[in-house]
Amino acid sequence: MSSKPNLSIIIPVYNEEENILELYEKLCNTLSLPHLIEKTYEIIFIDDGSTDSTFEEIKKIKNSKVKIVRFQRNYGKAAALSCGFKRSKGDIVITLDGDLQDDPKEIPRFIEKLKKYDMVSGWKNKRQDPISKTLPSKYFNRLTRFITGVNIHDFNCGYKAYNSYVVKNINVYGELHRYIPALVYWKGYTVGEIEVEHHPRIHGNSKYGVERLLKGFLDLITVTFLMIYKKRPLHIFGGIGILLGLSGIIISVYLMVSWATGLKIGDRPLLMLGILLTVTGAQFISLGLIGELITNLRNNDDYIIKYDSYELENGR
C-alpha cells in the first residue's frame, strides 16, 4: 500500500484529451526540480464524465503515483474537486485546471506561501481568455469581495493550494467552487493570494458560458445565506415572516377602513396581486434556502463513480 505523500495534486478534467499528456509532462518537470524532488506526491485526475478519450489518455500514464477517478457522467467541477479532496492523502493539496492554462511551474511558489496561510488562492491578473469572460468575471469578483468580505482579487481561479486539514473541512457542491476562498475564510482559516501566470487555451473548449455564470450568481445568494444564517436560520425566515405579517396586517387594516368608508376592494386588483406575489415569492425563496441548508448539512456527494484507481489498489 502506498505511504502518505507530501503533496496531492488534484486535476478536474472534462473533455481535455489533447491536454493530458502535455500537462503530465510539465508536472513531472516541476516535480523533479531540486527543491521539490524530495517531496512525495500523488496526482489525482478526476475525469468528470468526459465523452472524448480523456480517460484513455490518462490511462496511458504509467506511474503508480497517478490516480484516476472517473465519473459516470458530467457532474461539474465542484463535484470533481469535492471527490478529489476526499481522496487526497497529502499534507498539501493543490488543485489546477487540466487545460494547460495553469502552469505547474507555479507549484513551488504556492508551497512557499502556504507556510504563512491555511489556504492560498491563485490570481489570474493577466487572464488569457476572451473579454466576454474576463469582463463579467471582473465584476463578479468585485461583488463577491464586497458581499463576502474576503479581500482577494480572484475567487474563481482553479489554481489553489491548501493545507490538508482545510479541504477535509469544506463542503463544495453545485457551483460553490467559485467561492472556496469565502467558504474557507468563514471556517476561520487564513486565505492568502499569489499572482499566477495564465496561458491561453490551445486545445479544447472552455466549458463555462453565460448559463453557468447565472447559476454561479444564484450560488452567491446561497453563500451569503450560509455565511450569515447557517447557525440561526430562524432569524432570516422569522425576520421575513414578521415583516410580511406586519405588512399584511397594516394592509388589511387599511383595506378594512377603506371598505368601511365605502371603497370597493375589488377596484384594487393590482394591490391584491402585489400582495399575492410578494408573499408567494418570499415563501419560495425561504423554501429554496431551507433546501440549500439541508443540502449543505448533509454533505452528500451526489456522483456515481465508474472507475476508481484507489479502490483497485485496495483490491476492492
- Residue 149's alpha-carbon distances to 78, 118, 145, 186, in angstroms, are 22, 17, 5, 10
Interacting span for ligand UDP (CB under 6 A) from 95-103, 167-175, 272-280, 291-299 = 95-103
**Residue 66 binding result from ligand UDP, Mg ion, none, given CB thresholds of 5 to 8 Å by partner type:** none
Candidates 57, 99, 106, 175; binder of Mg ion (CB under 5 A) is 99
d(CA 275, CA 253): 14
- Least Å from the CB of residue 209 to ligand UDP: 9
208 touches ligand UDP by CB under 6 A = yes
Cell of 235: 432569524
CB atoms within 10 A of CB 182: 24
Q: Smaller CB distance to Mg ion: residue 128 or 280?
A: 128
CB 223 within 8 A of CB 183: yes
Closest to ligand UDP by CB, 17 vs 42, is 17
Beta bridge partners of 198: 102
Please report whether residue 98 would count as binding ligand UDP according to CB under 6 A. Answer: yes
Nearer residue to Mg ion within complex by CB, 16 or 42? 16
Shortest reach from residue 72's CB to Mg ion, in Å: 23
Distances from the Cα of 197 to the Cαs of 116, 157, 219, 289, in angstroms? Answer: 21, 11, 28, 38
Based on CB atoms, which residue is closest to ligand UDP, 84 or 237?
A: 84
Shorter beta-carbon distance to ligand UDP: residue 91 or 129: 129
**154 counts as binding Mg ion under rule CB under 5 A:** no
DSSP string over 114-156: TTT-SEEEEE-TT--S-HHHHHHHHHHHHHHHHHH----S-SS
β-pairing verdict for 92-95 and 119-123: unpaired
Identified binder of ligand UDP from the candidate list 7, 9, 10, 13, rule CB under 6 A: 13
Q: Which stretch binds Mg ion (CB under 5 A): 56-64, 79-87, 93-101, 183-191?
A: 93-101
The grid coordinates of residue 38 equal 524530495
What gap in Å lies between CA 267 and CA 125, rounded to an integer?
58
Identify which of residues 101 and 141 has a Cβ nearer to Mg ion in the complex: 101
DSSP class of residue 163 equals: E
CA–CA separation, 228 vs 209, rounded Å? 29
Nearer to Mg ion, 20 or 289 (CB): 20
Contact between 48 and ligand UDP per CB under 6 A: yes
- Binding-site member from 14, 24, 173, 303 for ligand UDP (CB under 6 A): 14
Min dist. Cβ of residue 63 to ligand UDP (A): 19
Please tell me the distance from the alpha carbon of residue 221 to that of residue 229, in angstroms, as a whole number: 12
Which residues are near ligand UDP by CB under 6 A?
A: 12-14, 16, 48, 74, 76-77, 80, 97-99, 101, 158, 206-208
Which residues are near Mg ion by CB under 5 A?
A: 99, 101
